[in-house]
Structure 1
Amino acid sequence: MFVLEVSDVNSSIVWSNQKRFNYLQFEMKAIFDGLDNLLNRPVYVHDSKMGIVQNIITANVSIIPRAGGIIRDYGYFKEYPCKEGYNRENPYEESAKCVINDDQFVTLIEHGDWVTVKFRSTSGGFQKFFNIDNQAMPYMTNYYSGLSFIKTVEFRFDFKGPKHCSEVDKRTCPFGATILDIPDLLRNGPIIPRWLGWTDTLSGVGEYYMEVFKLGPNRVGRLVETTPTNPIFSTTVLHTNGTIKYPQYAPSGSGMYRYVADALDDNEEPLTRKAIPNFHGIVKYEIVFVQTVDATQPILGWTEISLKESFSTQRPLEDGDRLRVWVRATDLMGNQRADSTIIKVDGSKPRLHAYTSKVELNTVNGPYKYSSKVVFSASDNDSGVHMIGFDIFVGTNPNNFATMKKSIEDAECRNVDGVCFLSSQTVFLDNCWMLVGRTYLDKMSAIVNVTAYNQAMLGTSATINLGPVNKLLGLEKYDGPKNPRIVTKTHTGFRITWNLPEKQSCYGRADILIILSRKTAKGEAVLHMYYTPGTSNHFDILGLNPETEYTLGLNFQAPGTMAQQTYFLTTKTGAYEPPNDSSSYSGDDGPVSPAFTLHIIISTHLCVRWFSKQ
C-alpha cells in the first residue's frame, strides 16, 4: 500500500511516481469570521444566523494528450458535496468540517496525467420575521447570499526517471557534462565526486542521492562491499540550475571505496550478489527438534534447511507430548540468531462444570449500563482453557435460536507450563442483548450456552438458564417524562419543561408528543401537535393569543407504537404589553431587514490520500 498525502494548504502542486490508485480521502475545515458591532435584533426579527452553509470538493483527472498536441484530454470528474448537517437553514457560525472517503476510485492514471482537487466553501444565513401586529405570527424568512472561497491542490504524475543528456541528444549536453566522475582516483584527503547534464522533461530533477561503500575481499578473493546494506557515508544534494554544491567525503583510512549515485546509471554491478544465495540477507537456516520444554539452546543436532520462511516435516506425536522446535539463522557476516517455540499435543476436551454455576441478574458495577453475570468453573490439565465463547438464546422456547454470540480471552487464569489459563470464569452479559418487543416481555425467557476451548481449540459446552427476561433491568417499559411544569410565560407563548429518567432503557428514548388545545368563541376545540426528541427536557410554544387559556397533553411515543398519554396541564398566556422602544420598529406594514456587511475568512485544512494495492 502506498499513501500520497498533502496537509499543507500552501502546496498547490505535488508530484508522484506511484500508479494504480484506488482510494481517495478528503478532509477540509472552513472557519467563519462573524460580524462585529451588530445592532441589537429588532423585536420583529424572531431568529437570525450567519455562517457556513455549503462545502463542496471536486476531483478532476486531466489526461495528457494521447494523440499528441497541447490540449489535454478530459478524463474523470466527480463532485463530492459535504453532508455534515450545515445548510442555509442551519449555517455553522464558527467552523464547518468535512470528511469524505471514496473507495471506488478506479481511474487509470498514466504518465503525465494530473488530478486537480478543489475545495469550495460558501457562507450564508437567514432572518426569520414575526408580524407583531398579528399576535407575533410568523411572517417570512429572508436568506443571505454569501461569499465563496476556493483552495486548489494539483497532483501530477511522472513515471519516467531522469535521463542524462548523453542518452537523449549529446548535442544538448552542457560543457563538462558527465554521468558520474571522481577526478584523481588515487589521492590522499577528501574525495569530491561530480556530475552534470541530468534532465527530466516533465517534473524536473529534484535531488541526487549518493552512497559510499568500503570494499573488501570475500571468501573467493573478489572485492565486495563489506556492509552492503549499510553505507559508511550517504547524503542528499538538491538540484539547482546553477552550480551544484557537490558533497565530499574523507575516508577514515586507506582502502578501496565504491560510490553509488541514486538514479544515475554508472554501469556498475547492482548491490545484490548472485554469487551469494540469500533470503532477505540470510545465507543459512538450521533446525533442531528437542523432546523437552527446556528453553536452553542446544549445541548439537542442527540440520541445515532451504532458504525459505517456512519448513514442513512429519514426526510421530502422542497426546500429552511436548516438543520444542529451534530455528537458527546466519547472515552474510556470519552473525547467528536462534529462537524456539513449544508444541504441546492435547487431544482431550476441557472440563466445564455448569451444575456449580451461579447467575446474578442486574449486578451492580458491571461493565454495561444494565449488566448481569454468570460464574462457572472450566479447566483443562493438558493445554489449559484458552478461550470462552457464549451464545444467548431468547424466546418462548429459547433453545430454538441464538440472538447474540461472543467470546472472551482476558479473564481469570491459572498457570500451566508457565502460561496463564482460565479457571473460575466470570462472564458479564448486557441485559440489552436480550431485547424483545414490549408486548413479549412477560412471555420470553433466556438461556446462555457457554463453551470452554483449550489451546488445541477443542471445546466443551453447557447451558445455563437465566430465567424470564422481564426480571432484567433496562427492559422495563419506558414511562415517559416526569413532573411537567410551565417555567416561562409571555403574552404570545410559554416554555414547558419536565424531568427525564436518569438512565436510558434498552429501548432508547421515546419521542415526546405535546398536544395543545384551546376553545374558540363558539366553544369549538382547536388542536395543535408538537413533536420533540426524547432527549429533550423542555419545549417552547410561541405565536399564541394573549390572555387565552390552553390545555396541554404530554405524551410519549416509542417507534412503531401508539402515543401514550402521561400528564395534563392548564395554563393561560399573559396580557399584551406594547414595546417601549419605538425605535426598534420602522412603522411600515412589514418587518424591515437591517443593512449589514459580510466578512468571511476560510482557512482550509485538506488531506488527500490515494492508496494503491501492490
Structure 2
Amino acid sequence: MRPAEHLRAGILLVLIAEYSGGIRVGRLRFFRRGFVCREVNCRWGGWSAWSSCNHPCGNAGVEARSRGISRKSKCDGKSCSGPSQDSRPCNRGCPHGGTAQNGYCSDCPRGFYGTCCEHACEKIAACEWLECSSATDHHCKRCQSDHGGVKKAYRLASRDGHRNRVCEQLCSWRSDSRFCYPGTCPDLSKNCHCTEGFSSTNCLTIDTKPTIMYCLVTVEHGTEKVDISCDEATNTAIYTNILASKLKVDLRSAFKGPTTRRRYYINDFKVGITESKLNHRLERGGQTVSDKAVDCSGGSSRSNPNVGSASCNKEVSLQNTPLRHGDRIHFTALAKNGGYVKINNADTGNVDPTKYYTGQTVTHSALLVIDLVKPVHCSVASTCNDNMLDRGQAITKSASLSVLWAGWSDALAGIKLYEIEIYRMKVYQHKLAHHGEKALVLKEMDPSENTFSISLVDPGVYAVLLTVEDNAGNHQVARRFLIFDNTSSISTYTEDDKQLRVTSAAENTSYSWLTSLQDTSNGGEKVDVAWHGHYANELQESQGFLLGVADHSAPIDSDYEETTGQPPNTVSRQAIPNVNAIVKYELASAVDHRGGRSLTAPGSWVDVAAFQRETATVDVPRADGDSVRVWVRATDVMGNTKTDSVLVHVDSSPPVIQDVWLSRHGRTQLAVHHSTELFDLK
C-alpha cells in the first residue's frame, strides 16, 4: 500500500470512531475521544502448597490449597474461570493395614499399633506372629517354623517378666539350628549333647576309630608259606627266606554305630566301615619298586557304609615282581569309618541334601624282609678266635660234657635261636650215623645263651649238632664228634690162630726155638713177630667206634663240620685206622743167656709202622743159648694199653743124639724125667 493510501485509511477510521462510539481493530479499541484501550484477560496465580491433612489416617482426611488472580481482565478481557480453592482426600486408609475409620485405624495388623497402626512392634527374633498395643507390651504369638505339635524349630519363652518375649531355638531341621544327631537334645539347640564317640556342632565328627579285628597276610610259594600278622598298630618286622609268588589277605574290621533314638526330623542315618584295604609296597635298595593296594571295601562308601563289620579274603599274585634277598615289603591295613544322615525339612516338606560324617582312620602295619643268607661264623666270614662249636676233649673218659659256642652272627634277620642236638651214633651200612635215632638232647636256646652241659651215660661215639637259626628261617648247622668210653679195655686172645708168636721160630718147636743168629752189627736174620687177632677192644669193635661218619641227612657245609682229622687232635668224619679197635702197636725186645729169667719189660718202645698188619720184623742180636723175649703193647683210641710177650730160645747147632727112643706107657718118644722138652730140664 502506498503512503497516500495509508493516510486515507487512517482518516476514515477516525471518522467512524467519532460518530459510532468506538471501533475495535484486533486487540485495540479506538474511542470517540481518541483514547485507545488494550484488552487484557484475567489470569490465575499458582496454587499454594497443600495444607496439612486434617486427619492422619482413616477415611475422612482432607487437605486444601488456594490460588489468587495474578492479573485482572481489562478492556473487555476475559475474566478468570475456575475455583480459587481446591481440596483432595489425604491419609486415607491405613498404611500398614487395619480398618480405616473416621480419622483413625482399627484392627491393626500383626506387628503394628497406634492410631493409624503406624508404629511397628519391637522385633522379636525368629517371631512369625508379633503382636503389641504399645511400645512396651510386644509379644510373640507364634515363632517361625512352627508346624504344629512337635514339629517346631522354636519355643516361646518369657523374658524379664514379660510373657512370650523370646523365641528360643530348638534342635531342629533348620540350617541355622542343630539337628544334633546322634545325640540328645532335650530342648534348646545349645543343649545338644553328642553321643559318646561323636562331636562337633551337629555331631558330624566321629571321634572313635574303627577296629581292625583281624589282619593276617600270608605269603606263599608252593607249599612254603609264612604268616604276617598286622593285628597290632606297631610295625613289627617279619623275616622270611620264602620267595613268595602270591599273597593272601584276611582283613576284618568293624565299627558299631550308636542306637540313639531318632528325633522326628531324622529321615535316615547310617554309619559304619566306608573303606577297607591293604597296601603292599615293595622296597628294594631304599627305592620303591611297586606300590599296590588290595581293595577290601566291597562296595562300601560314605553313602553306603558297611554297618557292623566288614571282612575280606583275597589272593594277589606277586609274580610280576620276583623277590630278591634284602627286599622289604611294607604292609599297611587300613579301615575308615563314616556315613550319612538325612534330614526331613518341615519348612519345605522335602529331604535336605545328605550330610556326611567325618570319620576316623585306623592303620595297622607290618614289615616283611626277605633274607636268603644263612647265619655265618666269624671264622668262615673272616678270621677270629671264637670256636663255632667246642665240645671239649674229642676223646674222653669223663661223663661230663660241656658244649660252648661263640662268634655267630646274622647280618639281616638276626639270630633267632640256637638248637643243641646230641646223638649217640650207631652203625648203618658200615658207617656211623644218627639217622632216625632219638636225640639224647634236643633243646632250643635263646640267642643270649652259649653253653650247654650234660652227663653222658653210655660209652659210644656222640654227634653234637648246633643249629643256628635266624629270624627268616635260614639254618646253619655245625657238627662235632666225640668218643666217650670210661669202661672198656683191651683183651687178648689165645686161640691158636690168635696167639702172639715169633713166626721166624721153628714151627715144629711150636715157635719156641730160633735157629738163626744175628751179630751185634745186625748181621744175620731178623726176628719176625705176628699177633693176628691177639688184641681187641671188644666194645669199641662191636659198636664201630672207629668207623667213618655218614653224611648228615641235610648236607652240612664243609666249613662247619670236621671232615678230616685224626686222634688225638680230634675226631672227624674220617674213619680212624685200627685193627680190632686197636689204633697203635708198639714193640720191644730183650735178650739174656739165662733162659729169659732175667728179662723185664723195657722202658722204651718202638712204634709198629704198619700196625694194621699185626706183624713186625726186628733186629735182635743173639747167639746160641740166648733167650729172646718180645713184647707187644696194644693201645686203643682211649689210651688204654695191653701188653703181652713171647719168649723164644736160640739154638742154631745141629742135633747130636740120633735115633734114641724110650718107651713110656707104651708110647715111643724121647722122655727124660717125664719131660719131652729138654729145655725144661734146665
TM tier, smaller: 0.3 to 0.5
Q: Tell me the TM-score normalized by structure 1.
A: 0.39
Higher relative CO (Cα under 8 Å, sequence separation at least 6) belongs to 1
Work out which of the two has the higher radius of gyration on C-alpha atoms and give 1 or 2.
Answer: 2
Q: Tell me the TM-score normalized by structure 2.
A: 0.35
Whichever structure has more strand as a proportion of its residues is 1
